[in-house]
Amino acid sequence: MIVRPHQHWFFRLFVWHGSVLPDILFRLSLNLIMSVIAVICFHWYERIGIHLTTAPFSLLGIAIAIFLGFRNNASYARYTEARQLWGTLLITQRSLLRQVKSVLHDEQHILLFSKLLIAFAWSMKHQLRHTSPQADLRRLVPEPYLAQVEASPQPTNRLLLCMGHWLGEQRRAGQISDLLYTSIDANLNRLSEVLGGCDRIANTPIPFAYTLILHRTVYLFCTLLPFALVADLHYLTPLVSVFISYTFLSLESLAEELEDPFGTSANDLPLSALCNGIEIILCEMLDRPGPERIRPDANCVLT
């Protein structure tokens, strides 16, 4: 995620990192080449009676803009829902630790449960980004549960089971009343809902056929556009064509980037920073020193 301080509007025009321009620069170069070819060949195809006007491109451009708007809204909705799910994760984990700490007096049991909570967040982050969770699991998961969590093909879900097992042990030992057990179990169910919601977003992309038809239409539009503009603009065709193509290509590229909000690109959610923030908050609730807060890098990117 880009975390950039407020800039003057003029300087923002030249911001490179965090924009989609690096991703579409080659495609814009191809459009520039097509524009130059259109200018060079203009007199030739005019002599053979080919007249390509801007009228169909105006109609097609409006249709593409509408569909790109729907596409970007769908992608941004996934991004927003993903952020809300991680916000729910923080709220639920704070509530769980508060409930446990207000009832139990055994510091070791409270610390064990808090480590399971923190490990759950880090494990979910690795699951969504398809990275190895081993280092964070060994750092956080208490010894009684480490072996079974590491051996599980779904360590995040296994951690949820471990927390349920821990809660059942406290209930059987008489440390937690039935009423409080029901309340804590409801919060554990919310963690399961958060995990399921994130899995749904990560494993259910926008229908491929919808993406494909929009992708093909945008590229066909940008390829033929210079040949429609050249009759009116002549040598200004490359400039205008590249500017119009930049608008359509950048919107399509941004929609593809936001479709998976759990990735590692500059505009995706900063899952590592979110997990780090959760760990700091839970450690503070236990009056224990937490890790150093993750800061944006030199490019103002928070991962």
pLDDT value of residue 49: 67
Quickly state the pLDDT bin for 258 (edges 50, 70, 90): confident
HEC per residue, 113-181 = HHHHHHHHHHHHHHHHHCCCCHHHHHHHCCHHHHHHHHHCCCHHHHHHHHHHHHHHHHHHCCCCCHHHH
Q: Mean pLDDT, to the nearest integer, of 160-170?
A: 93
pLDDT value of residue 301: 72
Instruction: Tell whether 148 is covered by a domain.
Output: yes
Tracing tokens 């080659």 back to the chain, one arrives at 26
What is the span of the domain harbouring residue 96? Answer: 87-206+271-290
Instruction: Tell whether 176 is covered by a domain.
Output: yes
pLDDT value of residue 50: 67
Instruction: Tell whether 27 is covered by a domain.
Output: no
Number of domains in the chain: 1
Q: Is 300 left (phi over 0), alpha (psi -120 to 50) or beta?
A: left
Q: Mean pLDDT, to the nearest integer, of 197-217?
A: 90
What CA–CA distance (Å, rounded) separates 169 from 9?
A: 59
Tracing tokens 């690795």 back to the chain, one arrives at 126
Which of 168, 133, 129 lies closest to 154 in space, CA to CA?
Answer: 133
DSSP helix/strand/coil, 2: strand
Q: Mean pLDDT, to the nearest integer, of 45-62?
A: 77
Instruction: Tell whether 51 is covered by a domain.
Output: no
Instruction: Tell whether 253 is covered by a domain.
Output: no
What value does the mean pLDDT of the chain take? 89
Choice among 106-110, 115-119, 191-195 with the minimum mean pLDDT: 106-110
Is 80 exceeded by the pLDDT of residue 48? Answer: no
Instruction: Tell whether 281 is covered by a domain.
Output: yes
pLDDT value of residue 265: 85
Q: Indicate the residue type of 70.
A: F
pLDDT value of residue 92: 96
Q: Mean pLDDT, to the nearest integer, of 259-273?
A: 90
- Identify the DSSP state of 293: P
Q: Indicate the residue type of 38.
A: A
Q: Mean pLDDT, to the nearest integer, of 235-257?
A: 90
What CA–CA distance (Å, rounded) separates 25 from 226?
A: 17
Instruction: Tell whether 134 is covered by a domain.
Output: yes
C-alpha distances (whole Å) from 199 to each of 78, 195, 204, 223, 281 are 12, 6, 8, 38, 25
- Identify the DSSP state of 294: P
Q: Give rounded-to-5 percent helix, strand, coil for the chain.
A: 75, 0, 25
Instruction: Tell whether 275 is covered by a domain.
Output: yes
Tracing tokens 């409080």 back to the chain, one arrives at 180
What CA–CA distance (Å, rounded) separates 260 from 240?
A: 32
CB distance 268 to 80 below 8 Å = no
CB distance 252 to 71 below 8 Å = yes
More confident residue, 131 or 19: 131
